[in-house]
Amino acid sequence: MESIDNSRKQGTKILVFKHGRTYFTKEGERRFYFFLTLLMLLSGILYKIGIF
């Protein structure tokens, strides 16, 4: 946890575009997949209910 706090204090970017590629920091990748998981969970619930 300390490395995450240190990277936030130093102002490092979560998402970096370099040479036509996208690079994530470890924290950025975790955050991206967490929100993607929540989106999939919500869409599954809506599908089961019959709204989506």
The total domain count for the chain is 1
Tokens representing residue 32 in the block: 């991206």
- In the prediction, which pLDDT does 5 show? 54
Residue 17 belongs to domain spanning: 2-49
Per-residue pLDDT tens digits for 1-52: 455 555 555 677 888 888 999 888 999 999 999 999 999 999 999 999 998 6
Burial of 17-31, coded b for 16+ CB within 10 Å and e otherwise, reads eeeeeeeebeebeee
- In the prediction, which pLDDT does 48 show? 96
